[in-house]
Amino acid sequence: MSEKTLTPPPHTEPVVFTRDMLDWLPWLQPPTEEALTPRQKESLVDAARSKSDYFRLLARDPDILEARTRTDKDIFYNPQAGAPRADRELAAAATSRLNGCIYCASVHARHAAIYAKRADDVDKLLAQGVGADLDERWNAIVAASVALTAIPIDFGPEHIDRLRKAGLDELAIVDIINAASFFNWANRLMLSLGEPATQG
Amino acid sequence: MTDVINALAGIQAGSALDKARDNRPEARKHAQASYEALFAPKEPGTFTLAERFAVATFVAGLHGRPETKAFYEENLAAAGASVELRVAIASEVFESHTHGPYGHYPAGPLSVENSDGLKYAVGTTARQVLGPRLTAAFEHTHMLVFHPRDAAPPSLQAMLDAGWSTTEIVTLSQLVSFLAFQIRVVAGLKVLNARPA
């Protein structure tokens, strides 16, 4: 007898990209908070994540969850030099916009808008897609993220040159490559293990 | 274990790019730890190493980057996969590689952005070689690689019905999604390495 997928409770699915807070409903059974083993709790890294269905579901394989989470945090939160947080969040939002992850795009569009104080440009990216005209620095970051996300991967020396010309140094370019690549990981998990829902 | 991303991107120890990567020490360390959790796990359990490398060889083949493709092919052979299986995977890659990301959105304003592409099913001959578990996994994997926004519960149910447990599906999803990251980081850093400032 095989296991069964979950049928999410009645909800409203978001039909546009948005900066609003969304919920996420799993298609596979996460362990309950009470059932988490010490190793699974440790793999969440932040104890508060035990409230999240998404992270409890991923805690079914704690070793890869913990390594994934620590990779994620350093790519986005390490404040030492490189690309400003807003640029890294923009790469995550652009990647999510192209792959079509409405949930991931909502989180990282909020972060990009807050850290850059450029809500209008972020909304333009969400509404118009990755072809939106922002400014040259952000256009260069979006173009690099798009080229890395496309399959076959389309990233070439012209993207490096454009990022450098827009003022990004070596470490900042590494940050953009890491951020866009990481969201090709995150988008696939979010999109395939559950679905977004409008709050309230 | 060798730093797989550096090895595949051809980054020399002590080079400028190697030092740049050291400024994100946790990301570097845990990208490697992620690889090891998936491909050298403490307990592979019922999702065997041969199955893991079979899926990885399919994913790397679909991305078509020579450096990562060869790496996973070699590891699949080292995991004891038969020549028959390796040939079947190569043939499925040849039959099913395409351009992405494509897929559909929930009905509404985004419907104008819907784009159709290949909906892959494993070929008749390959099904015999792959068996039911890998057949279901390959069909799910192709969707994850090229059109993840088309994901829906029936594809997960097909895997459950083919003998995958919920926990194994989580691991498989991490494996395919991690490779989508690793292959892109390697591709990006390789270009950067070949273009010094």
Does the CB of B45 have a partner CB in chain A at under 8 Å?
no
Give the distance from residue A117's alpha carbon to the nearest chain B alpha carbon, in angstroms: 25
Q: What is the mean pLDDT of residues B25-38?
A: 98
- Contact (CB, 8 A) for B189 and B11: yes
Res B89: pLDDT: 98
- Percent of chain B's residues with pLDDT above 90: 96
Structural element, H or E, at residue A26: strand A22-26
Q: Name residue, tokens 């591709």.
A: B187
Query: A120-176: per-residue pLDDT in tens?
Result: 999 999 999 999 999 999 999 999 999 999 999 999 999 999 999 999 999 999 999
Across the interface, whether the CB atoms of A181 and B178 are under 8 A apart is answered: no
Across the interface, whether the CB atoms of B105 and A81 are under 8 A apart is answered: no
Q: How high does pLDDT run on average in chain B?
A: 97
Across the interface, whether the CB atoms of B148 and A188 are under 8 A apart is answered: yes
Q: Name residue, tokens 């652009």.
A: A94
Binning pLDDT at 50, 70 and 90, where does residue A1 land? low
Domains, chain A, with CATH or none: 22-75+194-198 (no CATH), 83-191 (1.20.1290.10)
**CA geometry: angle A41, A47, A50, nearest 5 deg:** 70
Q: Other C-beta atoms within 10 Å of A125: how many?
A: 25
Q: Tell me which chain A residues have a C-beta less than 8 angstroms from the C-beta of B99.
A: 150-152
Q: Name residue, tokens 């083949």.
A: B61
Q: What is the mean pLDDT of residues B40-50?
A: 94
Token output for B144: 């994850």
Name which of B174, B175, B186 to mutate to probe chain A: the one with the most chain A Cβ atoms within 10 A of its Cβ: B174
Query: Is 0.95 surpassed by the pTM of this model?
Result: yes
- Contact (CB, 8 A) for B59 and B145: yes
Q: Tell me which chain B residues have a C-beta less than 8 angstroms from the C-beta of A61.
A: 37, 167, 170-171, 174
Query: A62-108: per-residue pLDDT in tens?
Result: 999 999 999 999 999 999 999 999 999 999 999 999 999 999 999 99
Question: How high is the ipTM of this complex?
Answer: 0.98
- Given A15, A70, A71, which is nearest B107 (Cβ)? A15
- N residues, chain A: 200
HSE toward the beta carbon, residue B58, CA cutoff 13 A: 32
Across the interface, whether the CB atoms of A70 and B178 are under 8 A apart is answered: no
Alpha helices in chain A (DSSP H): 38-43, 53-58, 62-77, 85-99, 102-116, 119-128, 136-149, 157-165, 170-193
Three-class DSSP category at B111:
helix
- Given B110, B153, B195, which is nearest A16 (Cβ)? B110
Res A42: pLDDT: 97
**Rounded CA separation A181/B7 (Å):** 18
| Number of cross-chain residue pairs from A and B with Cβ atoms under 8 Å apart | 211
Q: What is the mean pLDDT of residues B132-140?
A: 98
**DSSP summary character for residue A195:** E
Res A200: pLDDT: 75
Across the interface, whether the CB atoms of B183 and A161 are under 8 A apart is answered: no
**Rounded CA separation B21/B31 (Å):** 11
Query: B94-131: per-residue pLDDT in tens?
Result: 999 999 999 999 999 999 999 999 999 999 999 999 99
Comparing CA positions, the residue from B28, B47, B40 lying closest to residue B1 is B40
Across the interface, whether the CB atoms of B157 and A5 are under 8 A apart is answered: yes
- Contact (CB, 8 A) for A191 and A5: no
Q: Tell me which chain A residues have a C-beta less than 8 angstroms from the C-beta of B176.
A: 188
Give the distance from residue B138's alpha carbon to the nearest chain A alpha carbon, in angstroms: 14
Domains, chain B, with CATH or none: 45-193 (1.20.1290.10)
